[in-house]
């Protein structure tokens, strides 16, 4: 290998000296390599073959029962100054972080193979893409990273050209919850993860690199690394607007990214194109607009709730060449989860035990599928465009059972940043901890921002400069409930009705009324044809609760003050302006 790879070679040798593996394997991403890894995992039970007739080339993986979700309380950002990590992150000094992790890594790969995974986040030839190398002792991680990133020889060639890469070191260790940590060293572009084989804890290209480290890179380099889907909305005239939307995990990003329009819209010629379902990197273009790529090459989606009704495109995507993690299986070895609604019944649960609904669900609530994005029927060829796609609108949203209306538009960029910074959502099973608790989750980045949120908000505000042609900003809430506790909005494909209004606002053709919280549609501004919305639903989805919003703005002000003197003055002034207008 060339001298440009000396740093990489030396790092691999240093890690091998510390972890003491039996063998070192440099991954090239080839089919031959993947077939050999799959065969090895099938032989040792890491992967279980699913029904070849119904789900060809698909596999089941069962993780350790104590290793099933993100572990935010064990995830650290290691900066020299604690204030740089901010109150939104758990902090440890780099010296202490390295010492703690290296003690865990000492000898941890004895009897195992060390895999070196060169990968590229984003199209291999895109100036917006960034490369990394993950070292792991998990062949399951290799198989997943092959799907989720551009992994192998082409990525290594780009690393050789550029000479820079994010370093990720991972070991499953003993899968002991008391010896499980994920450490990020932003200034060193380094990640160390020990003790977990689960998803984002182990696939270091995903949240660790693409959000926590990339958000740090983005701030230094003048772009944004965001927890957002990207979709293209094509109208009957053949024009496509691209929308980026930030929702917390398990709040419908994948469903929206793969949305199939209602029948009337389909017949009229509307279509949704999928660019990405989870992560968005945006950079200002020469024309002042924001251009975005999806840095991932696959989907790591939540399986429970995925059905022909909720997301037919996702269901079609995962019919072949997929890895399922912690789902149940039927008697004839088909994957099964709660909400699939396919007439099948589970025989075995996600722990590999006979299914007993009194004991546990068939699939873990955070069960996942890993699959290539190119298998999605709505996948857009523009996802491979090295320049990215121009973003017309940014949408924020979370799970709010009360108060927040169906949709509203921010008045300007500063207001939009406040809307994103203050968004709240009820917690889901994607993270360890209690489910259903309302918490602030700015830009859906609470678990993922690699530095102080106050500085992150200031970075967002900095894009509003001379010559900028920034996207309009919106907030949606599909999860408003009525007095009977049921959802008021039908959701799923009918969310296109809201997207149509959003694009209409971008084009200047859709109406809205001015309220203290922003510009809201009236019932007549959104196409509700064919929907059976009762009086309560219409009142709450399109209404404005003055007393409720007074309390909300007070809560937002207190939340922002928690960040101390670093919080941008412009954000506090915007909060005060809205609070005053509510009265």
**Which residues are known catalytic residues?**
251
CB 204 within 8 A of CB 132: yes
Q: Considering just the CA atoms, what is the radius of gyration of the chain in Å?
A: 23
CB 448 within 8 A of CB 227: yes
Residue 251 in marked binding region:
yes
Q: Exposure pattern of 443-465 as b/e (b: 16+ CB <10 Å)?
A: bbbbbbbbbbbbbbbbbbbebee
Residue 45 in marked binding region:
no
CB 341 within 8 A of CB 401: no
SS3 356: coil
Task: With CA atoms as reference, report the closest residue to 531 among 485, 570, 507, 496.
Answer: 496
Residue 201 in marked binding region:
no
Residue 494 in marked binding region:
yes
Residue 366 in marked binding region:
yes
Q: Residue 180 phi/psi, 5° resolution?
A: -135, 120
Residue 249 in marked binding region:
yes
Task: With CA atoms as reference, report the closest residue to 419 among 552, 532, 537.
Answer: 552
CB 270 within 8 A of CB 378: no
Residue 307 in marked binding region:
no
Residue 401 in marked binding region:
no
Residue 17 in marked binding region:
no
Residue 55 in marked binding region:
no
Residue 44 in marked binding region:
no
Residue 564 in marked binding region:
no
Residue 493 in marked binding region:
yes
SS3 295: coil
Q: Could you give the C-alpha distances from 131 to 23, 206, 517, 570, in angstroms and in order?
A: 24, 12, 41, 35
Residue 254 in marked binding region:
yes
Residue 537 in marked binding region:
no
Work out the number of other CB atoms within 10 angstroms of the CB of residue 267.
Answer: 10
Residue 356 in marked binding region:
no
SS (H, E, C) 191-256: EEEECCCCHHHHCCHHHHHHHHHHHHHHHHHCCEEECCEEEEEECCCCCEEEEEEECCCCCCHHHH
Residue 463 in marked binding region:
no
Which residues participate in the annotated binding site for substrate? 70, 198-200, 249, 366-368
As annotated, the binding site includes 70, 198-200, 207, 227, 249-255, 278, 366-368, 399, 492-495
Task: Please report, in range form, the residues annotated as the binding site for GTP.
Answer: 250-255, 368, 399, 492-495
The binding site for Mn(2+) consists of 207, 227, 278
């Amino acid at each position: 290998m060339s001298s440009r790879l000396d740093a990489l070679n030396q790092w691999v040798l240093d890690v091998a000296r510390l972890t003491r593996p039996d063998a070192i394997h440099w991954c090239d991403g080839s089919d031959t390599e993947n077939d050999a890894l799959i065969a090895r995992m099938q032989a040792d039970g890491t992967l279980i073959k699913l029904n070849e007739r119904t789900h060809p080339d698909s596999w089941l993986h069962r993780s350790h029962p104590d290793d099933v979700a993100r572990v935010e309380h064990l995830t650290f950002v290691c900066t020299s100054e604690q204030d740089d990590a901010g109150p939104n992150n758990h902090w440890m000094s780099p010296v202490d972080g390295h010492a703690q992790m290296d003690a865990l890594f000492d000898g941890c790969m004895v009897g195992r193979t060390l895999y070196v995974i060169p990968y590229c986040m984003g199209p291999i030839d895109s100036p917006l893409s960034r490369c990394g190398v993950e070292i792991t002792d998990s062949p399951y991680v290799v198989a997943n990273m092959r799907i989720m990133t551009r992994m192998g020889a082409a990525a290594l060639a780009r690393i050789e050209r550029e000479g820079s890469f994010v370093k990720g070191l991972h070991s499953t260790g003993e899968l002991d919850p008391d010896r499980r940590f994920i450490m990020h060293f932003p200034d060193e572009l380094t990640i160390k993860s020990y003790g977990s084989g689960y998803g984002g804890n182990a696939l270091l290209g995903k949240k660790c690199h693409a959000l926590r480290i990339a958000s740090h890179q983005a701030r230094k380099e003048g772009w944004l690394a965001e927890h957002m889907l990207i979709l293209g909305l094509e109208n009957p005239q053949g024009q496509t607007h691209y929308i980026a939307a930030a929702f917390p995990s398990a709040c419908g990003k994948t469903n929206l990214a793969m949305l199939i329009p209602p029948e009337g819209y389909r017949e009229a010629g509307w279509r949704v194109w999928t660019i990405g379902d989870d992560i968005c990197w945006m950079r200002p273009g020469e024309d002042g607009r924001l251009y975005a790529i999806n840095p991932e090459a696959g989907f790591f989606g939540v399986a429970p709730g995925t059905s022909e009704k909720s997301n037919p495109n996702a269901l079609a995507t995962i019919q072949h060449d997929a890895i399922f993690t912690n789902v149940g299986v039927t008697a004839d070895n088909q994957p099964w989860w709660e909400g699939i609604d396919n007439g099948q019944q589970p025989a075995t649960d996600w722990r590999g035990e006979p299914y007993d609904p009194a004991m546990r669900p068939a699939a873990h609530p955070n069960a996942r599928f890993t699959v290539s994005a190119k298998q999605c029927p709505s996948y857009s060829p523009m996802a491979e465009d090295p320049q990215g796609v121009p973003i017309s609108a940014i949408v924020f949203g979370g799970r709010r059972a009360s108060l927040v209306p169906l949709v509203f538009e921010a008045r300007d960029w500063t207001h939009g940043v406040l809307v994103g910074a203050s968004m709240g959502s009820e917690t889901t099973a994607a993270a360890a901890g209690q489910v259903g608790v309302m918490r602030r989750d700015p830009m859906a980045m609470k678990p993922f921002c690699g530095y102080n949120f106050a500085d992150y908000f200031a970075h967002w505000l900095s894009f509003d400069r001379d010559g900028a042609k920034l996207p309009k900003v919106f907030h949606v809430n599909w999860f408003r409930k009525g007095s009977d506790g049921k959802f008021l909005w039908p959701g799923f494909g009918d969310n296109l009705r809201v997207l149509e209004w959003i694009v209409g606002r971008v084009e200047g053709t859709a109406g809205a009324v001015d309220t203290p919280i922003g510009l809201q549609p009236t019932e007549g501004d959104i196409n509700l044809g064919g929907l059976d919305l009762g009086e309560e639903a219409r009142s709450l989805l399109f209404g404005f609760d003055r007393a409720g919003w007074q309390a909300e703005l007070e809560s937002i002000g207190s939340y922002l003050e928690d960040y101390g003197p670093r919080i941008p003055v412009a954000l506090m002034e915007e909060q005060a302006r809205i609070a005053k207008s509510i009265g």
